[in-house]
C-alpha cells in the first residue's frame, strides 16, 4: 500500500548542522512537514517514545560516540520503531561501507552529497516500500 508522502514522519539523525538543515529543506520541498532532527541515536529513540509512528529514519553512519550501525540495532529493538524504514544517509560511499550497511539491515542507502533533483524521488520510493541503494 502506497503511503501519502505528506503524511510521513521522518527523523534525520545527523550531527552536522549544514547537512541536517539541507536535508530538512529538501524534505519540506517534497511536502513532508513532519520532520524531526536529532544529533544522536539516543535522542531519536527518546523522540520515538513520544510519537505514534516514525516512517523513516535517515541516519548518518558516523556520529560522535556512536555509529549508524549502533543506531539501527537500537531502532530495530525499540517497540515503536522496529518496523520503521532506516536508510543510511552518508558520505561514506566506499564499497565496504555499502556492503556493511546492507549486512546491518538498513533498508536503503543514499550517498552524500545528496542530489537535490533526485532526493525527493528517492524518499518517495522508500516510503512506498521500494528499495533505494544509490551512493552516487
By residue range, what is the domain housing residue 115?
5-134
Look-up of cell digits 524521488: 121
Specify the pTM. Answer: 0.94
The CATH number that applies at residue 63 is 3.40.50.2300
Count structural domains, the chain: 1
Beta bridge partners of 110: 89, 134
DSSP H helices, 30-67, are 41-48
Q: Residue 89: count other Cβ atoms within 10 Å of its Cβ.
A: 24
Residue 135's contacts (CB-CB under 8 Å, 6 or more residues apart) are 93, 98, 109, 110, 111
pLDDT single digits (tens) 4-57: 677 899 999 999 999 999 999 999 998 998 999 999 999 999 999 999 999 999
pLDDT single digits (tens) 95-127: 888 999 999 999 999 999 899 999 999 999 999
Amino acid at each position: 500500500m502506497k503511503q501519502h508522502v505528506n503524511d510521513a514522519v521522518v527523523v534525520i539523525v545527523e550531527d552536522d548542522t549544514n547537512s541536517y538543515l539541507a536535508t530538512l529543506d529538501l524534505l519540506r520541498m517534497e511536502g513532508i512537514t513532519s520532520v524531526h532532527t536529532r544529533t544522536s541515536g539516543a535522542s531519536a529513540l527518546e523522540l520515538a517514545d513520544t510519537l505514534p509512528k516514525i516512517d523513516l529514519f535517515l541516519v548518518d553512519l558516523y556520529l560522535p560516540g556512536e555509529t549508524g550501525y549502533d543506531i539501527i540495532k537500537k531502532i530495530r529493538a525499540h517497540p515503536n520503531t522496529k518496523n520503521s524504514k532506516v536508510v543510511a544517509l552518508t558520505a561514506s560511499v566506499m564499497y565496504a561501507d555499502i556492503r556493511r550497511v546492507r549486512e546491518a539491515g538498513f533498508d536503503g542507502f543514499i550517498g552524500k552529497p545528496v542530489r537535490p533533483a533526485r532526493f525527493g524521488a528517492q524518499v518517495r520510493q522508500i516510503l512506498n516500500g521500494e528499495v533505494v541503494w544509490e551512493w552516487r
